[in-house]
Amino acid sequence: MRRALYFIVFLYALVSCKKPENPQGNEPHVSNQPTYKVGDYFKNDTLEGVVFYTIGTHNGLMVSLEETMLPWCNTAHIVCETGATNPYDGWNNTNIVTANYDLHNFPVIDWSYRRNTWHLVHYPHHLIDHRQWYVPSSTEMRYLLMNQEAVNTTLDSLGYPILEDKIYWSSTETGTRGAASVSMQDGEIVIRDSLKTLEFYVRAIRNF
């Protein structure tokens, strides 16, 4: 009887020494997601770019390494109002044009669109989501130029063209014949209404 009592006391002590279990039955989550800051080079298996805007430490916007010079639209569509007038959301502007027009007539949008997946390139007029390349709005382009020093340092180190002293198209339409172009002049960012058939530089951006 005494031996049985000792065994019960021992068993109780052993159970009492066990560590308390996680209420959810899971190990505490430790994130291994990489962190980013403005100017960082972003690269994974399929994407490359330079971070120019961050949301927290894991998300934000990056800009393409490449750029080109193109008109916003061709001459035949100079009087066409697309409705892509959002000054803040280039993704929305890009999708308005993509959904309603032949992109060959809108070279700036077409260039950014063709940076996306094979499926999008070969089956036109499919909408894109925020995690695909698009033409920045006038405000997004302004944010990019505000951080051009950090971005340019990375672009230059990688051997790509920098943003300095150039006029860039945004996706923001300003009227029948115009769209917003953005440039840096004497240390100030200038947003102007420019004729759509003029050739300016364009960069694509996307969320990460």
Q: Given this model, what pLDDT does residue 32 score?
A: 76
CB 182 within 8 A of CB 190: yes
Q: pLDDT tens digits for 99-153?
A: 999 999 999 999 999 999 776 767 666 899 888 999 999 999 999 999 999 999 9
What spatial distance separates the first Cα and last Cα of the chain, rounded to whole Å?
A: 69
Question: C-alpha angle with apex 196: 85 to 118, nearest 5 degrees?
Answer: 75
Q: Given this model, what pLDDT does residue 7 score?
A: 40
Which token pair is 95? 């999708």
Does residue 121 or residue 96 have the better pLDDT?
A: 96
pLDDT band at 17 (very low <50, low <70, confident <90, very high): very low
* Mean pLDDT, range 156-180, rounded to an integer: 96
CA 202 to mean position of chain CA atoms? 14
CB 37 within 8 A of CB 54: yes
Q: How far is CA 34 from CA 80, 86, 159, 178, in A?
A: 44, 32, 24, 40
Number of CB atoms found within 10 A of residue 196's CB: 26
* Mean pLDDT, range 10-39, rounded to an integer: 58
pLDDT at residue 54 above 50? yes
Average of per-residue pLDDT values in the chain: 87
pLDDT band at 27 (very low <50, low <70, confident <90, very high): low
Q: pLDDT tens digits for 32-48?
A: 788 999 999 999 988 99
Which token pair is 118? 């094979």
Question: C-alpha angle with apex 202: 34 to 93, nearest 5 degrees?
Answer: 80
Residues in the chain: 208
> Buried (b) or exposed (e) across 177-188, using 16+ Cβ within 10 A?
bbbbbbbbeeee
